[in-house]
Amino acid sequence: MDRSRIIVTAVVLALLGAIVPIAAMFHFSWVLAVQEEHERLELFANRAIARASISLKDAAGALREIDRFTGDRCSVDHIARMRRLTINTRSIEEMGYFENGLLKCTSWGPTEGSVAQAAPDFTAADGVAVTARIRPLANQDHPLMALQYKRHNVLIDPLRFVDIVVDPDVQLALATNTGVLLSALNGPDPARIGKIIADPGKGLDDGHLFAAVRGTDWIAVATEPESQIVDSVRRRQLLLLPLGAFIAAFIIGMVVWLSRRRLSPLGELQIAVRKHEFIVHYQPIVALRTGNCVGAEALVRWRRPDGSLVRPDLFVPLAEESGLIAAITDQIIALVVLDLKKLLVANRSLHIAINLSPADVRTARVLPVIEKALQHTGIQPRQIWLEATERGFVDVGSARSTVIRARELGHAVAIDDFGTGYSSLSHLEGLPLDALKIDKSFIDTIATDSATSSVTPHIIDMAKTLKLKIIAEGVETQAQVDYLMERDVDYGQGWLFAKPMPAAEFMAYCRRAGLPA
């Protein structure tokens, strides 16, 4: 992902991180307020059911008691008994006695026997038959409910069933389980109640919150306008919005931190390692006397997703500092094998020099990696040279054991950029090296009157004393070649011969320049 895409992604994530938690808290405030209100409405509906059941139980008790009366029916005693029960039972408006399906007397006295017994809507669990709505002769506009047990019945004002204390904004309705509306409190909309009874539960309908509860014999519905929860929502918002703002700030902070990390050089390098964004260019090494190509130095390049190449001196120091260099070295080893296996197998005199970091030299970790990479390839270990700068040999003890082990495995080991650090002859004497690369800065002084120009012959002499092969690095002019050849320097590497190039070009170069016998 390139920088602009990372920035756009980070901005989008930060915006989402800011909006989503706050929007979620608005939503939760609403959901919690609705949930609480539903519970309150459910409580009212439950109370209405309990109230209706108590009323029904009282009325049924009165009916059973009058049924046990043994005297003459509709006698003074019978009527007086019915009246007493009517007065003492809160829910009962009137009690009546039927004979042959016609009302013969009530708690208020004998009747003319013209009122017929109403057909029941349902029979409750205790055997009491319920007729939901009957219109008494005395008050046709105010329907009552009739409960009937054997020959007696009682009339009940349905309002008694919802006779509970509720807020004025809460509307209550009670219906039979079969859906017949019995009574209502605070004037609920009958159409809405009808809809809710048909599908009882909790919810929001046309700006009204509702909760319906189904009892054994009844369904109670409590509703109220949605606007009633505004205060409750605000209260919750006051609590939850700071939490949302905190989460938003946390997410934005994380996005900024992660994107800065991702955009930092180290973050980019880590991703490059993970995505194997490295390639190898090969710079030919030539035999100065014949001009033949004897091998190449493998030089890493970081190919960015946009195709641009990053020079190693821009990222190798960071890779060494962060420890990522180990993974990069491993990838370079694998790439060298992949790129040049055929060429190396066909030309045993060719070698490829791989650069090791100081840590690689210190730990020797890289040796088994190379051993494994060469397995079953046909490439001989002596065709892989290992190069390390003077910095890699500072800790002589561990460097020495790595060099010894590398040479046991068949590799040649070269000291790179020689002369730029603090290596001295005595320092080198302790290391069983194979080759020495003279740094470009010394080659540059050849045929000049620079102050350091006198150092180059000393380095050459020193290498010869130690019987090391000498490779002159950064050769750019024929004058430098002539000078080096005069002093029997074996090999040269530099732009005069070729710049670092991809594997295919290097193979073509070798064919052109010729290979040693």
Q: How far is the CB of 27 from ligand C2E (least distance, A)?
A: 55
Give 86 or 329: the residue with its C-beta nearer to ligand C2E. Answer: 329
DSSP at 383 = G
Site string for ligand C2E, 376-415 (x = CB under 6 A): ----------------------------------------
Helices (H), 375-395: none
Q: How far apart are CA 213 and CA 318, in angstroms?
A: 71
SS3 of residue 320 by DSSP: helix
Give 213 or 325: the residue with its C-beta nearer to ligand C2E. Answer: 325
In 278-392, DSSP assigns E strands to 278-287, 293-303, 309-310, 351-356, 384-389
* 494 binding ligand C2E? (CB under 6 A): yes
Q: How far is the CB of 283 from ligand C2E (least distance, A)?
A: 6
- Which helix (H) or strand (E) covers residue 134, if one does? strand 129-134
Residue from the set 2, 72, 199, 313 that interacts with ligand C2E by CB under 6 A:
313
Give 213 or 354: the residue with its C-beta nearer to ligand C2E. Answer: 354
Region binding ligand C2E by CB under 6 A among candidate stretches 219-227, 266-274, 310-318, 447-455 = 310-318
In sequence order, what are the residues at sequence separation of 6 or more whose Cβ sits closer than 8 angstroms to the Cβ of residue 26? 237, 241, 244
Give 161 or 418: the residue with its C-beta nearer to ligand C2E. Answer: 418
Give 98 or 497: the residue with its C-beta nearer to ligand C2E. Answer: 497
Task: Compute the Cα dihedral for 391, 395, 400, 403 and give only its sign.
Answer: negative
Across-strand partners of 214? 219
Give 252 or 468: the residue with its C-beta nearer to ligand C2E. Answer: 468
Q: How far is the CB of 497 from ligand C2E (least distance, A)?
A: 8
Q: Quick count: other Cβ atoms within 10 Å of Cβ 512?
A: 9
* 300 binding ligand C2E? (CB under 6 A): yes
Residue from the set 311, 342, 372, 405 that interacts with ligand C2E by CB under 6 A:
311
Q: How far is the CB of 4 from ligand C2E (least distance, A)?
A: 27
Residue from the set 89, 153, 283, 383 that interacts with ligand C2E by CB under 6 A:
283
Residue from the set 390, 417, 434, 490 that interacts with ligand C2E by CB under 6 A:
417
Q: How far apart are CA 42 and CA 60, in angstroms?
A: 27
Sheet holding 129-134, edge to edge: 109-110, 102-106, 92-99, 152-156, 144-149, 129-134, 122-123
* 495 binding ligand C2E? (CB under 6 A): yes
Structural tokens at position 162: 């919802």
Residue carrying the six token digits 């002369």: 419
Interacting positions 432-471 with ligand C2E (CB under 6 A): 440
Q: How far is the CB of 401 from ligand C2E (least distance, A)?
A: 20
Give 84 or 391: the residue with its C-beta nearer to ligand C2E. Answer: 391
In 311-392, DSSP assigns E strands to 351-356, 384-389
Q: How far is the CB of 360 from ligand C2E (least distance, A)?
A: 7
Structural tokens at position 184: 């209502």
- In one-letter notation, the amino acid at residue 7 is I
Structural tokens at position 108: 């208020």
Q: How far is the CB of 7 from ligand C2E (least distance, A)?
A: 29
Residue from the set 474, 484, 507, 510 that interacts with ligand C2E by CB under 6 A:
474
Q: How far is the CB of 314 from ligand C2E (least distance, A)?
A: 9
DSSP at 501 = B
* 357 binding ligand C2E? (CB under 6 A): yes
> Measured between alpha carbons, how far is residue 449 from residues 144, 371, 446, 460 in Å?
126, 46, 8, 18
Q: How many residues are listed for the chain in this entry?
A: 517
Residue from the set 268, 330, 339, 416 that interacts with ligand C2E by CB under 6 A:
416
Q: How far apart are CA 461 and CA 126, in angstroms?
A: 121
Give 44 or 385: the residue with its C-beta nearer to ligand C2E. Answer: 385
Q: How far is the CB of 290 from ligand C2E (least distance, A)?
A: 19
Q: How many residues bind ligand C2E (CB under 6 A)?
A: 23
Q: How far is the CB of 252 from ligand C2E (least distance, A)?
A: 39
Measured distance between the N- and C-terminal CA atoms of the chain, rounded to whole angstroms: 48
Q: How far is the CB of 364 from ligand C2E (least distance, A)?
A: 15
Site string for ligand C2E, 315-344 (x = CB under 6 A): -x--------x---x--x------------
* 476 binding ligand C2E? (CB under 6 A): yes
In sequence order, what are the residues at sequence separation of 6 or more whose Cβ sits closer than 8 angstroms to the Cβ of residue 50? none
Asked if residues 461 and 425 have their Cβ atoms less than 8 Å apart, the reply is no
SS3 of residue 152 by DSSP: strand
Q: Quick count: other Cβ atoms within 10 Å of Cβ 317?
A: 12
Q: How far apart are CA 181 and CA 199, in angstroms?
A: 14
Which residues of the chain form contacts with ligand C2E (CB under 6 A)? 283, 299-300, 311-313, 316, 325, 329, 332, 355, 357, 416-417, 440, 473-476, 493-495, 500
